[in-house]
Structure 1
Amino acid sequence: MILHISIDAHNPLQVATALAEVLNGKVYKFFTPGSYLVMPFDKHGTHIVVFKEGDVWVPGTDAESAQVLHAEPIKLVANHAAISVPTTQEQIEQIGQRQGWRVLTRKQGDGVPFSAIEFWVENRILFEFLPSEFVPQYLQTMQSEMIEKILGQPIQLMPA
């Protein structure tokens, strides 16, 4: 289970505020200046950290923990997250439209294995939001027999 993720944004407070609205959460200042924490206070402790554009995690040295440094920002990223949310499809679409961000509702069977709402934060970071009525379909799709039907047999791992 993924409990938290971090992203960067051109306007971290605006992004954190929009995500908090989708998640029915609250926004707090985070430890790194100019970054914010979005907390929906669900039973899993889920949260999203929104850093300034270009802030990245880097490994520490020896026994030192990871730290955040500023790097050259990039336009698009490979990482994304699917998150079940307490808001409706209509609310999510309204929030995205108000921000000027791409929002697309995909329906199962239209070339995708499950229904989800593509919510493109700042038109560069993909979140797949699943309102409560989308979640059972997602969970059914993520069972081993369905995944094998979609992707084939798992790769047989060899000990290193």
Structure 2
Amino acid sequence: MLHHVSIAVENTARVAGILAEVMGGQAFDFPVHPNSYIVLNGDQYGTAIEVLPANTAWVAGEVEAEVASMPTAPFTPTHVAMSVPISLEAIKAIGVREGWLVRLCDRGPFHVVELWLENRVMVELLPEEIAAQYLGFMTLANLTAFVEQAKAAVGAS
């Protein structure tokens, strides 16, 4: 069970506010580093997203992990997929309002809504109308069969 994930963005307050809106939660100042936030949706799992400034990263400190400043890349491989309590139309409206890319994507066995925070950090959103596809596919049996089928297809070419 994932409980939280950290992302790094340029405008932490703006992104934290949008994530709170999308998740149906609330953004709080995060005291681990200046200009950082934590967004919590209040579910039984403690699901949260830590929002840190773009030029920061978690590093192995002397006693425990700490935040350090360092150069940043324009994009990141880190992303998260999450079910959200708002509709596809509401997500599209947020994208238009913020000037961020939003698109419905077909991943084969399921669909996701890509919301590109600051047009730089991708989050895959699963509104109620498509979440069941994802949840139905993401089982050990289904993923095992999918991976085996993909391996066979690659081996055949």
Alignment of 1:69-148 (within 5 A): 69-107=68-106, 112-148=108-144
Report if aligned partners of 1:106, 1:112 keep a CA contact under 8 Å in 2: no
Helix, strand or coil at the partner of 2:74: coil
The corresponding residue for 2:147 is 151
Deviations 1:37-76 (A, max 9, x none): 1111111111111111111000123xx1100011112111
Residue type at the aligned position of 2:133? Q
Helix, strand or coil at the partner of 2:82: strand
The corresponding residue for 2:66 is 67
Deviations 1:103-125 (A, max 9, x none): 00124xxx532111001111111
Following TM superposition, by how much is the alpha carbon of 1:144 offset from its aligned partner in structure 2, in angstroms? 2.5
Aligned-pair Cα RMSD in Å = 1.6
Number of equivalent positions: 149
The separation in 1 between residues aligned to 2:122 and 2:111, in whole angstroms, is: 15
Name the structure with the higher helix share: 2
TM-score, normalising length: structure 1? 0.87
Deviations 1:125-160 (A, max 9, x none): 11100012222211111123321232118xxxxxxx
Deviations 1:88-116 (A, max 9, x none): 11111111121111100124xxx532111
Structure 2 unpaired stretches of 5+:
150-157
The separation in 2 between residues aligned to 1:70 and 1:81, in whole angstroms, is: 23
Identity percentage of aligned residues: 38
The corresponding residue for 1:48 is 49
Helix, strand or coil at the partner of 1:58: strand
The separation in 2 between residues aligned to 1:98 and 1:47, in whole angstroms, is: 24
The corresponding residue for 2:34 is 33
